[in-house]
Chain A
Amino acid sequence: MDCIIIDDDATARLIIKQHCINSKQINVLEEFSSAIDAIKYLNNNSVDLVYLDIHMPNFSGFDFIQTLKNLPKIILTTSDRNFALEAFEYKSVVDYLLKPISKERFEKSLEKLVATSTVEKSLQKEEKLSDYIFVSVDKRLVKINIASIYLIEAKGDYISIKTNDKNYLVHSTLKKIEDKLPSNLFFKVHRSFIINFSEIIDIEDNSVLIGQVVVPVSRSNKSELMKRLNLL
């Protein structure tokens, strides 16, 4: 993990740097006595972590946080006990270390940092998996990108899933797949059809054009469909 250290106090910078070296987990790329110099550096370089002193003359640690658009993870360092509440108002702030920073406290902070990163990675992974649906086709589980589905049609004991690349005939029901799809993107317009909202080309009377397919809209579902459209 790459970091920079921002502190106007050289002893504080040295202590953090040495803790980083000893940890063998954090690589110190640069150290700055001024937050403004650090911002200039970050305009051209990316880091995973910033050790940031809150109390600095002219430009404080909080000024730094409010200035940067894409913030890396931040561990705040300070000699003041009374900034803790304000510190954790910022999403990027992982921990708050009181100076001088002991080895034990630094290591605890690292554990917290690693735990936070692990949770975030796992959430990202979950998010990615939720972009897909797995369906059983010819005894194989096939992964389909949900966004690529433009229409699902009931066909007896099967459903036909139509995507931009391919169509899949799956032994299932519309109800089952409807429960798995994001409701903001998909809508059941008829007892036999679920459409992808973003693929609607036009709507005429009681039908909707999806791709090149004209899909019937049942009377009971039409008012709900119209409500959900961004009508002029």
Chain B
Amino acid sequence: MEQPNLKFIKEIVGDDKAFEKSLIDIIKQEFPAEASLFTKNFSQKKYTEASTNVHKLKHKISLLGLEEGFEIAYEFENELKNGNTALHPEFLEILHKIHLYLLE
């Protein structure tokens, strides 16, 4: 089971520690708000809005090296536009993993 990691971020930032810190700080700052907005829209069955939230979260999922997670998010985003929520549990699991990782 893949876990969030900084491999991709390190590839992007190289040796620039300040850049790495800025990037992680923004993820830490934005992720909880974006995840919470998704949860709210999904619980209210606003699937189009929820799909937009997934789209935005998708970038962070990818940045944190979750390749399978990205594919699930990609599918889920498209499925949500049609009101299909089948991938919701798997997507929640991804969000949970990231949440725990960012708390470390």
Q: Is the CB of B14 within 8 A of A99?
A: no
| Residue B101 is within 8 A (CB to CB) of chain A in the complex | no
CB neighbours (8 Å) of A99 from chain B are 59, 62
Determine the distance from Cα of A12 to Cα of B56 in the docked complex, in whole angstroms.
10
Asked, given contacts A11-B30, A11-B60, A18-B16, whether A79 binds B55 with beta carbons under 8 Å apart, the answer is: yes
Interface residues of A (CB under 8 A from B): 8-12, 14-15, 18, 55, 57, 79, 99-103
**Size range of the interface on B?**
20 to 34
Distance of A32 from chain B, by nearest CB (Å): 16
Q: Is the CB of A10 within 8 A of B59?
A: no
CB < 8 Å neighbour of A100 from B19, B26, B52, B59: B59
Asked, given contacts A9-B59, A99-B62, whether A14 binds B14 with beta carbons under 8 Å apart, the answer is: no
Query: B73: nearest residue on chain A (CB-CB)?
Result: A79
| Residue B12 is within 8 A (CB to CB) of chain A in the complex | yes
Q: Is the CB of A14 within 8 A of B22?
A: yes
Q: Is the CB of B23 within 8 A of A15?
A: yes
Query: B53: nearest residue on chain A (CB-CB)?
Result: A57
- In the complex, per-residue mask of B1-40: 1 if CB is within 8 Å of any chain A CB, else 0: 0000000100111101001001100110010000000000
CB < 8 Å neighbour of B12 from A10, A57, A100: A100
A-B contact pairs, 13 of them (CB 8 A): A9-B56, A9-B59, A11-B30, A11-B59, A11-B60, A11-B63, A12-B59, A14-B19, A79-B58, A99-B62, A100-B59, A100-B63, A102-B12
